[in-house]
């Protein structure tokens, strides 16, 4: 009987050359990406209104509200990403669902870029580690750029290693171009920082095709940003200078403690004051570099140093500007670094729970499982509180907009002052400020506009109104004071 079975196996027909072959572990990666999409839809309310930065990006392509001021650091990638929905629908829930599905697909493709470099179980674990961070779940369905820089970084670095390893065909080179272009499309400066180790490696090893692919991808994604620099800012150097000014001036600054404070769920920590987040909330942040170092040691012993060193180096250069060059913090800034670090961390975790021969280490496996369960509980708690807080804040904007409508401030109209940009979006008005990082108009222009359309100046209670609005009728709306100009003739 054994001989017959052996013979049958030997005579089994080979699959047709044209038949598609399923990549090893593709189903496991798809499961992780699908669970990530589902978790976003369940844990991050699709009906949660748009945040401040989201209103800027979405207003550039939507038809139901004027475009908000687009400051120097921003790039058009997010606006183009949401255009297929935002250009014809004002439904925030529909936009959230669209972005959640798209972010799940992006995670799947990013993990697929590393096939053959790490075992499928490591890739799936890395994807799960990154996808279950509260910052990833919260920003995945939002119209923000940092998650997509992370996806582009994974695709670019993974395809770079595959092309460097001599993978036949041009698929890996095309992946390098696509990943670099996606990063630059979303945030050109972040793309440069992430790509620095790849550019250095390509130059050192004289991989001219890889260098050309990287440079071509960065140029393709960043060309629109550069054209805008010359059209609106007087040149690339001037736009970079203006972007630095808006970010408080780039230079040596210690922002590590700011990032730690932001881990408690603060979307933007500027100025970053107040108590440090609870140690249980920040524990994973300190474990991350330790586990990444273990992953590198495992890779060196196994003779596969490059595939671990490259994501570590890219993660380091991606994190440098947000840890040491700006004076404030937001947890989303470090998403590319978290995504890249997830690979060596997942490799280290598997090394801790299994022997090289594939046998389980029961004690170590139990401890790792317990630590991961606690980590997930903390992430869920922070996410839940963050969603509640942001949902409440955005409902306040919507209520303020409804009150402004009842007071006669209806499109076409103009809002200026405190929170003018998000309130302008919710009200359907244009927004303009005469001072600050979002300065886009002048007092004289505001007064001229008030002769034609309804205009309102928004201040905090006790705040000083602008000189041109001191005689306007004040109204208390929630925690704001709104001064409305006399009705235009």
Please tell me the predicted confidence (pLDDT) of residue 260: 94
What are the structural domain ranges in the chain? 248-353, 395-484
Looking at residue 248, what is its pLDDT?
Answer: 81
Instruction: Report residues of the chain scoring pLDDT below 50.
Output: 1-21
Confidence at residue 380, expressed as pLDDT on a 0 to 100 scale: 97
What is each CA distance from 277 to 263, 312, 381, 382, 413, in whole angstroms?
Answer: 7, 26, 13, 11, 41
The pLDDT assigned to 271 comes to 83
- CA quadruple 444, 445, 446, 449: dihedral sign: positive
Q: What is the pLDDT of residue 17?
A: 38
In this prediction, residue 437 carries a pLDDT of: 85
Q: How high is the pLDDT of residue 24?
A: 61
pLDDT score of 274: 82
pLDDT reported for residue 249:
83
Please report the pLDDT score of residue 450 as a whole number. Answer: 95
**How far is residue 216 CA from its own chain's centroid?**
23
pLDDT for the residue 23: 56
Nearest in space to 149 (alpha carbons), one of 318, 360, 352: 318
């Amino acid at each position: 009987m054994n001989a017959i079975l052996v013979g049958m196996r030997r005579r089994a027909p080979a699959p047709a050359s044209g038949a598609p072959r399923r990549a090893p572990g593709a189903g496991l990666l798809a499961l992780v990406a699908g669970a990530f999409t589902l978790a976003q839809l369940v844990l991050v309310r699709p009906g949660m209104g748009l945040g401040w930065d989201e209103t800027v990006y979405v207003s550039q392509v939507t038809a139901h509200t004027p475009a908000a001021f687009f400051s120097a650091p921003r790039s058009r990638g997010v606006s183009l990403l949401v255009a297929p929905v935002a250009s014809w629908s004002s439904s925030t829930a529909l936009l959230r669902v669209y972005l959640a599905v798209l972010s799940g697909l992006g995670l799947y493709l990013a993990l697929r870029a590393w096939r053959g470099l790490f075992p499928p179980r490591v890739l799936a674990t890395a994807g799960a580690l990154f996808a279950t961070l509260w910052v990833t779940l919260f920003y995945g369905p939002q119209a923000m750029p940092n998650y997509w820089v992370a996806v582009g970084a994974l695709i670019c670095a993974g395809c770079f290693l595959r092309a460097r390893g001599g993978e036949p065909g041009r698929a890996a080179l095309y992946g390098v171009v696509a990943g670099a272009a996606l990063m630059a499309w979303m945030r050109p400066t972040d793309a440069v920082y992430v790509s620095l180790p790849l550019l250095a490696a390509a130059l050192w090893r004289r991989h001219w095709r890889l260098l050309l692919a990287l440079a071509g991808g960065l140029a393709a994604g960043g060309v629109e940003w550069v054209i805008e620099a010359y059209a609106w800012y007087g040149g690339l150097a001037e736009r970079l200078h203006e972007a630095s000014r808006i970010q408080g001036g780039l230079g040596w600054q210690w922002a590590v403690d700011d990032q730690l404070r932001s881990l408690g769920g603060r979307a933007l920590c500027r100025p970053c004051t107040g108590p440090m987040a609870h140690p249980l909330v920040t524990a994973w942040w300190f474990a991350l570099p330790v586990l990444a170092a273990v992953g590198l040691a495992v890779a060196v012993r196994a003779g596969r140093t490059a595939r671990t060193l490259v994501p570590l180096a890219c993660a380091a250069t991606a994190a440098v500007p947000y840890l040491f060059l700006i004076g404030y913090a937001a947890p989303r800034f470090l998403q590319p670094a978290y995504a890249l670090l997830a690979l060596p961390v997942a490799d280290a975790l598997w090394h801790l729970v299994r022997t090289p021969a594939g046998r389980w280490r029961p004690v170590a496996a139990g401890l790792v499982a317990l630590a991961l369960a606690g980590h997930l509980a903390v992430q869920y708690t922070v996410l839940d509180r963050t969603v509640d807080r942001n949902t409440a804040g955005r409902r306040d904007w919507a209520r303020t907009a409804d009150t402004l409508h009842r007071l006669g401030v209806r499109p076409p109209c103009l809002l200026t002052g405190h929170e003018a940009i998000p309130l302008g979006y919710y009200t359907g008005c244009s927004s303009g400020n005469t001072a600050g990082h979002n300065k886009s108009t002048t007092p004289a222009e505001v007064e001229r506009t008030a002769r034609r359309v309804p205009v309102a100046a928004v201040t905090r209670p006790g705040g000083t109104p602008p000189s041109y609005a001191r005689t306007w009728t004040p109204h208390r709306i929630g925690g704001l004071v709104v001064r409305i100009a006399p009705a235009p003739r």
